[in-house]
Copies of this chain bind each other. A is one copy, B any other.
Amino acid sequence: MKIIVAKESGFCYGVSRAYRMAKEAILKTGGDAYSYGPLIHNQLVVDSLKTEGLKPVEDINDAPDGAYLIIRSHGAPPEIYEKARERNMKIEDATCTFVRKAQVRAIELVEQGYHLVIVGKQGHPEVEGILRHAGSGEVVYSTEQLNGVRSKKIGVVCQTTMPVEVLQKITSNLLLRSSEIRVYNTICNATINRQKSAMELAHKVDAMIIVGGKNSSNTRRLYELCHSRNENSFHIEDKSELDSLDLGKFDTVGVSSGASTPNWVLEEIVRDIEQRYG
């Protein structure tokens, strides 16, 4: 069996940076730091950081006064920063720079009187953060959700890990609903390049494995896109899941990973497939 790893895989820039900041925080505090929410959407990494002393809290009240607090890579609503400041916490902001850009654009659009549309998944921490920073707006993922949206000026930003096709569909529909549409394409390049190289690979191989967190938006999207090109596509989080896949019948297998998947997880899976099927 031939195994081909997609060119663009492993940690993206924003995840790398957050991981480095977490390691530094652990070092500085002697293993007594906190993260607002899971640092990145990869359980293996979050668990491993936890054993070293980075405790994820969903509620900021669960961290003590003066705590060393890392803001997760997906960002956080403004009130979290305020509360942390009030309680004398040391804030380290690991918000991905692409996410921060989307937040800033959303704030500017609302300030300039645009009705804000955030193209993304409702409830995703990145999207909720953007919405709370902007102060008003709505989150849509499909054109059906646009029903009723009508405004003289509509401003659009996009969850950084959205497929560009979703942004295109929604923008097209918005052109029927307003005389001015201002769109910031805040999809990060790393996501676009990763999706492109994975889809090209999925098209060439007999089966495709996407490695990454089941709660990771960009990984799930990567899987969906590969599945649309190759129906023998599988999304796994760790090597134990290989047991249930009968990869032996395939001659070539492609592998790619989400932006929050560390290289060692990917490499471990490649090694495991090689051992199982030679």
User: Contact between A168 and B172 (Cβ–Cβ < 8 Å)?
Assistant: yes
Contacting residues, chain B, for A176 (C-beta < 8 A): 164
Q: How far is the CA of A180 from the CA of B171 in the complex (A)?
A: 12
Contact with B along A160-195 (1 / 0, CB 8 A): 000010011001100110111111111000000000
User: Contact between B182 and A175 (Cβ–Cβ < 8 Å)?
Assistant: no
User: Contact between A175 and B164 (Cβ–Cβ < 8 Å)?
Assistant: yes
Write the nearest CB–CB distance from A67 to chain B, whole angstroms. Answer: 36
User: Contact between B185 and A182 (Cβ–Cβ < 8 Å)?
Assistant: no
Contact with B along A64-82 (1 / 0, CB 8 A): 0000000000000000000
Q: How far is the CA of A140 from the CA of B175 in the complex (A)?
A: 18
Q: A168-B175, A171-B175, A172-B168 are in contact. Are A180 and B180 (CB under 8 A)?
A: no
Find A167's partner among B175, B182, B183 (CB 8 Å cutoff). B175
Write the nearest CB–CB distance from A177 to chain B, whole angstroms. Answer: 9
Which residues of A in the span 81-115 have a Cβ within 8 Å of any Cβ on B? Answer: none
Beyond contacts A168-B175, A171-B181: 15 other A-B pairs, Cβ-Cβ < 8 A, are: A164-B175, A164-B176, A167-B175, A171-B172, A171-B175, A172-B172, A175-B183, A178-B185, A179-B184, A179-B186, A180-B182, A180-B184, A180-B185, A181-B183, A182-B182
